[in-house]
Each structure stands twice: as C-alpha cells, then as structure tokens.
C-alpha cells in the first residue's frame, strides 16, 4: 500500500497560496496526504470510457413523486443542459440536492411550499438527467468545480427569467449555494444550507474521525479511473453504503439514487465532483478568503444531531468566518433530530425553516 497525494496547486499557477493562508495550505496538504490511502495501482487513464451523452441515463419514471409539476431540460451553455421540475406560485425558490441524490430529495418538502413559492428543483450537473461532461485532463476538474456549477444555476434561473431568488440546498448542493452566494451576491435574497460546513474547514479537520466518517471524500477523489472501476464492480453495494438506511427513502427515490451507480457517465461525474472539491474548490475558497469575499445575504444553517457536522464541528463558528458580520442568523441555525439526509428524514423541519426565514 502507498500514499496517494491529491495534486493541490497554488492559487497562482505554479505557486503556493499567498500570505496569511500559506500555513493552512501546508497543513491541508499534510492531512490530505495522510488520510488518502489506497492500493498501489498504476495511474492509467482511459477517458474514452467516460464519453457518454448526457441523455444516456434514464433512471426511471419519477412522475409519482412530483405530480403535475412541469419538467424542464434547458440548455444553458454549449452542450450543457440542466434538467428538473418546477411548480408553485410566488417568489422563486431554488432547491439543490446533494450526493448521491437528485432533485427527488425534495419530494417530501415541496408540497408544503407550493402555495408560497415558485419551486425550481434541478438536477445538478453530473447527476440525474442533467448533462455529464467528461473531463479530458486527469489533473483538471474545473468542469465540476462549485464555481462552474454555481454558474450553471445562475444561467438556469436567468433562462427562466428569475433575476433574484431564494436558495435552500443540501450537501453538495449547499456547497454550490455557498459559492453562488460569493460569486453572485446580487442574485440571492436569502439562503438556507443543510448539513455542511465550508469545504476548506472540513478538509482541514481531516484527521482520523473525519476520515473514517467521510471516507467517500477521499475515495471518490482518487485519480481516474480507479474509483470508477471499483464502483462499477459493485454498484448496489456502494448505493447501500452511501445512502445508509434504505428505509429512510421513498422506494421510487431510492431506486433512482441507486441507479446512478450503474451509469458510467454519472459515476465519473460524481468522482469529478469530489476531485474538484479536493483541488479547485479549496483553491477557490482560499482565493475568496484572501480577497475578503464573503457571503453577504442572510443565511441560516441546519444540521443533523446524529451527523458529522454536529459531532466534529462548531457549525455556527465556521459559517461566521465566511459570512459578513450579521448575515448569519445564529439564533435560527441549529441541529435538528436525525442524520445527514435532512430533507427526507426531517422534511417538516426544513419546511418550517423555509417558511419562517424566507417569508
């Protein structure tokens, strides 16, 4: 066995991060190199295996979970299209899912919001029925960086004629929402983030407990095609491992999530999402920090009492660091009963938070 290092370049090409964050950068490089352990497999990349049209993946008929919603599949840039559903009336509310899920994660939340908001519920790039571009450079994951995915969401909302909107987002989607708030501060009225702390802060905590609990961060971010091939050998096993208890989910939703592990293009996209987190997303957060760019809109954060954020982090303290003074609603940010998958485990808590904070 041997250590495998994620190639984290500096914010400036060929260099290291500037000034005050250089020490954190070095610590991060050390932590990541220690916890990413895998078999000594030659780094052979055959990207041709991942050349798939985004419409190759048809998970299943999911209409029972969103009756009478309007589906969309909207081209936003080049050959990228974002799919999803929308319905309701009132101000626009963008709902973003996480890994390894799709827009279906909101099916228990959405019905209680339809009379208050126009809901836009997409699949993120690389998930569900949205486009899944293949990365062609094994060291460049920018196609799946959170800045790229945030730009997708802004383009989608502009295509739908929404210039400003609310966001509620979970897991990977919440990381997209965080970057969207930084890069497009004039687009977001208010934002709710579910069960995350900022990516850099979580990587800096990458010692034994975190690495054990968030093992998938370090497995999926391995160089291609190692994790893709391992998942392809046992997709159902990976679905059960990452989704925890199947009884948490509607049967239709669980089957749709599990089906993603059987599709090469989706699995590659998921891995690229996590490779980007370990490289591009950290670089972007460090650059934002150095430039003093912070979340400006009002923010609330919810997290699960039985999940990693509660066990290992001070969520309020971490979010205060990346938000302008006074923008984090500390009193309205708290742990809810249950685990990580809050929209499906505790939908009433999410609905109550949205109605209280966004109206």
Residue pointed to by tokens 């809109």:
297
- Catalytic residue selected from 123, 171, 263, 349: 171
74 strand-pairing partners? 82
DSSP state of 130: S
Half-sphere exposure at residue 99, Cβ-oriented, CA atoms within 13 angstroms: 23
- Secondary structure of residue 206 in the 3-state scheme: coil
CA quadruple 74, 249, 335, 196: dihedral positive or negative?
negative
Whole-Å CA distances, 224 to 9, 145, 294, 347, 352: 18, 16, 33, 36, 42
- Catalytic residue selected from 97, 152, 340, 349: 340
Specify whether 171 is catalytic: yes
Cα–Cα dist 135/121, whole Å: 25
Specify whether 170 is catalytic: no
Measured N-to-C along each axis, helices 146-159 and 172-183 cross at an angle, to the nearest 10 degrees, of 80
Q: Which two tokens stand for residue 42?
A: 């030659």
Cα–Cα dist 227/214, whole Å: 15
Q: Catalogue the active-site residues.
A: 171, 340
């Amino acid at each position: 066995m041997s250590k495998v290092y994620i190639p984290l370049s500096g914010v400036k090409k060929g260099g290291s991060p500037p000034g005050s964050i250089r020490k954190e950068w070095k610590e991060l490089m050390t932590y990541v190199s220690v916890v990413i352990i895998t078999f000594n497999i030659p780094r052979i990349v055959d990207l041709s295996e991942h050349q798939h049209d985004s419409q190759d993946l048809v998970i299943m008929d999911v209409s029972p979970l969103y009756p009478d919603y309007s589906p969309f599949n909207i081209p936003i840039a080049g050959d990228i299209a974002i799919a999803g559903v929308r319905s309701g009336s009132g101000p626009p509310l963008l709902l973003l899912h996480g890994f390894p899920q799709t827009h279906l994660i909101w099916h228990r939340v959405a019905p209680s919001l339809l009379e208050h908001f126009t809901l836009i519920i997409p699949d993120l790039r690389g998930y569900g029925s949205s486009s899944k571009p293949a990365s062609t450079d094994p060291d460049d994951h920018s196609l799946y960086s959170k800045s790229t995915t945030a730009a997708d969401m802004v383009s989608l909302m502009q295509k739908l004629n929404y210039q400003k909107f609310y966001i509620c987002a979970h897991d990977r989607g919440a990381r997209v929402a965080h970057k969207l708030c930084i890069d497009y501060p004039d687009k977001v009225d208010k934002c709710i983030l579910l069960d995350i702390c900022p990516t850099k802060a979580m990587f800096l905590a990458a010692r034994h407990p975190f690495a054990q609990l968030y093992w998938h961060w370090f497995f999926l971010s391995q160089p291609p095609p190692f994790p893709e091939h391992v998942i392809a050998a046992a997709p159902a096993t990976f679905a059960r491992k990452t989704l925890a208890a199947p009884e948490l989910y509607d049967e239709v939703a669980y089957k749709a999530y599990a089906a993603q592990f059987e599709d090469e293009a989706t699995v590659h996209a998921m891995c690229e999402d996590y490779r980007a987190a370990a490289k591009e997303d950290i670089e972007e957060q460090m650059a934002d920090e150095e430039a003093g760019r912070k979340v400006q809109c009002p923010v609330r954060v919810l997290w699960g009492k039985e999940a990693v954020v509660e066990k290992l982090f001070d969520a309020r303290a971490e979010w205060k660091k990346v938000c302008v003074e006074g923008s984090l609603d500390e009193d309205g940010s708290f742990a809810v009963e249950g685990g990580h998958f809050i929209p499906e485990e505790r939908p009433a808590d999410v609905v109550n938070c949205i109605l209280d904070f966004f109206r």
